[in-house]
Structure 1
Amino acid sequence: MAGELKDNRGRGEAEWRWPSVHPEGRKFGLIALVAALAVLFGLDWEYLGWPMLALTVFVFAFFRDPERVVPQGEHLIVSPADGLVSLITQVPPPPELQGDDGSGRGLGTEPVTRISIFMSVFDVHINRAPVSGTLQRVVYIPGKFLNADLDKASEENERQHMLIERADGVPIGFTQIAGLVARRIIPFVKPGDLLAAGQRIGLIRFGSRVDVYLPAGTDSRVLLGQKVVAGETVLAETGKQGLIEGVSL
């Protein structure tokens, strides 16, 4: 993934810019805009036209695609999603990510730390690769559309599992989960693609969740209730363990 190198010694440039709108969302924004203008100026229904125009702004904002500065480090696992850390728990990986299906070794059957990130309709919904490596597996599973904040959403909702194998052979699994409002998971990548950490890999429309399965012997570096940023927040460092505490103020 090409990009400008920045570091903690001041190299690189920083400037504020309006985030772009992802192409996947432009068609929805334009449809909403045409409908709003038709109602507002064509039918002269101001009481309906102005709310529709506000909805158009929301649609464009929902599909915003800001640039991110991705921390570089072969042992770092960055957040694949913007949102709230809603669950941190020890669970066995999903069956679809456990064994070797011919595409590469899986995560095994022993419990590992799972970090669940809930994305509200106000969060950026572009998902990013948590590590650099080869995308070995993509498994789509149709399902329900329960509230993505619920623990059982990991097993019952529409979801898509992905498995990335790093250059050192360590597999990292994560799952995109559709939510109560989300109705479609859209991938940007396919098995065999070589990914960079923080690279855009897909989106989930209108509220959802992403689960990340950390390798054995690795603890979370984020806390329950913490807000994380896709491609920037470091979720964990492989092989690092230890209790981290925080205080809600």
Structure 2
Amino acid sequence: MTGILDSIRRIVVPIHKEGYPFIVIALIATILLGWLWSPLGWVGTILTLWVCYFFRDPPRVTPVREGLVVSPADGRVSLITTAVPPAELELPQEPMTRVSVFMNVFDCHVNRSPVAGRITQILYTPGLFLNAELDKASDDNERNSLVIETNGTKIGVVQIAGLVARRIVSFVKTGDSLGVGERFGLIRFGSRLDIYLPLSAQVLVGLGQTAVAGETVLADLGATEPARQFHVG
């Protein structure tokens, strides 16, 4: 019996409560479409299943060694560069290492804290809805910016709305303490996360690598791990 229950848990992934209204809307639309013309009902069924899939919130196994920075999002590492952080973060206006993780509409969109620490700043900035893969989306798009202080080091985490995304949802407020890998928000339907780190941090992912929120180690603030080499296979 235990084995059967474990199998069900692996197949039936939890759905985040933020998705419930969208699932209900999709179900109602499916019923109406099926009433109008049965083939449309099947289209609605597929759409409903996709909405359930989009708002999935699977458990994650998070590494907890001090100094590690884990990915705040599922997706592809689309950019590793140095950049001055957005002014609203109120971080020193000097270059920092920026790692960007792009989420497409098939990735899990629940965002998790990259480090354990206290939120010292949150600021929502309205903006455009350009393709989140574009570099200028960091400055021009709608975004929600957080600063998390961990062991005296401040890092920036920016949720950026994308071409399809129209709502950034935050679960936290200034002064809250987060554990590494703890959920802090989500973005609906395609978007990007930028992580601003000190230049001394050792980046441990490669461009194009697939990241898993709360599990994939992006960097080491203590630089205790050697630099990694990557090749495209």
The TM-score normalised by the length of structure 2 is 0.93
1:36 maps to: 30
**Correspondence list, 1:74-85, <5 A:** 74-85=66-77
Q: Out of 112, 126, 135, which is 2:96 matched to? A: 112
2:109 maps to: 125
**Correspondence list, 1:209-224, <5 A:** 209-224=192-207
2:216 maps to: 233
1:23 maps to: 17
SS in structure 2 opposite 1:161? strand
Contact 1:113 1:219 in 2 (8 A): no
Is 1:197 aligned to residue 180 of structure 2? yes
SS in structure 2 opposite 1:177? strand
Structure 1 residue 48: deviation in Å?
1.5
* Residue deviations 1:53-111 (CA, integer Å, cap 9, x gap): 1001001100000000110112111100000000000111111123xxxxxxx3x2221
Unaligned runs of 5+ in 2: 1-5
1:8 maps to: none
2:127 maps to: 143
Structure 1 residue 132: deviation in Å?
0.6
2:53 and 2:105 map into 1 onto residues whose CA distance is 10
Q: Which moved more, 1:116-125 or 1:233-242?
A: 233-242
* Residue deviations 1:113-143 (CA, integer Å, cap 9, x gap): 1000000000000001111111111011000
Q: Out of 81, 90, 94, which is 1:89 matched to? A: 81
1:188 maps to: 171
Unaligned runs of 5+ in 1: 1-12, 99-105
Structure 1 residue 17: deviation in Å?
4.7
The TM-score normalised by the length of structure 1 is 0.87
